Amino acid sequence: MKITGIITTLNEEQNIVDCIRSLQQVCDEVVVTDSYSKDKTVALAQQAGAKVYQHEYIGDGPQKNLALPYTSNDWVISIDADERLSEELVAAMHKIDWEKIPYDGFAVRRRNLIGERWVKCCRWYPDYLVRIFRKDKLRFVEQKQHAFVPKSNISYLEADLIHYRYKSYDDLFSKRNYSTRGAKILFLQGKKANAFTPFLHGFSAFVVNYFFHGGIFSGVDGYVLSKAIAHNSFLKYAKLLEYCRDASVREAEDWTSVW
């Protein structure tokens, strides 16, 4: 199959080999864009047969797009190091006639896991994302957080991309750098917050995810995930408020590492 797999990495030595092997089921080429990992990511990726290029991290969308000029094929599939192709996705891709596709891309369902548990609530499934696309027609939006490929002239594959999103509840709650990054982005956009803003966003995030997006029907996983989303939302706006009102906190932050 003439399709290139692309991966962006930073210190992914635990994931990179399995990720490359997963792509090699459907790809004749794998390109890794690495942000100067300090572990064995680069060496392991090269040993696994991937082409590796290094560049400082410039944000989610821009970083993923950096790989496109290094690819040899018109079609690419982009996944993260903690994602794997499911058996049905591999089978679906092998059935596609890549020379006669009337679309510019394909959206796949992302199956998000905590540990080995498939969690479907809180908009975690089917979570359709365009990950397979023609590089001359589509690319990731130049967005530095949560970038995506636009759903323009695409088809939907009834197959899953498996995402090992969190290892455990502890991992779910410990990754608070997302709230710091989000707060920095809001501050740089000129957003403001007051004493009520963190509580309002945190409370509404819990209510929406637990009661309206199915958390209540998903047992402990649904409750914990709703709490974690609310906690992250609360922290993001609490940190934004701190940046707005405390110059000493702003001055202590490294604003060159927002992304």
pLDDT of res. 7: 98
Distance CA 210, CA 227 (A): 8
Structure-block tokens of residue 119? 């969690």
- Contact between 126 and 108 under an 8 Å Cβ cutoff? The reply is no
Which residues partner with 143 through β-bridges?
none
Looking at residues 155-159, what average pLDDT do you find? 97
With tokens 């323009």, the residue in question is 152
Token pair in block for residue 254? 């490294």
Query: What residues contact 109, with CB distance under 8 A and at least 6 apart?
Result: 125, 126, 127, 128, 157, 158, 159, 160, 161
What are residue 124's phi and psi, to 5 degrees? -85, -10
The pLDDT mean for the chain works out to 95
- Coil/strand/helix, residue 5: strand
Among 111, 49, 48, 44, smallest CA distance to 82 is for 111
Residue 257 has pLDDT above 80, yes or no: no
Q: Quick one: pLDDT at residue 259?
A: 55
CB atoms within 10 A of CB 103: 17
CB 165 within 8 A of CB 84: no
What tokens appear for 111 in the block?
Answer: 């199956």
Helix (H) or strand (E) holding 244: helix 219-245
CA–CA distance, 36 with 45 (Å, rounded to integer): 13
Q: pLDDT (tens digit, 9 = 90+) per residue, 167-217?
A: 999 999 887 568 998 899 899 999 999 999 999 999 999 999 999 999 999
Summarised one tens digit per residue, pLDDT across range 3-20 is 999 999 999 999 999 999
Antiparallel, parallel or unpaired: β 29-34 and 3-9: parallel
Q: Are 6 and 33 in contact (CB under 8 A)?
A: yes
Average pLDDT score over residue span 93-101: 93
pTM of the model: 0.92
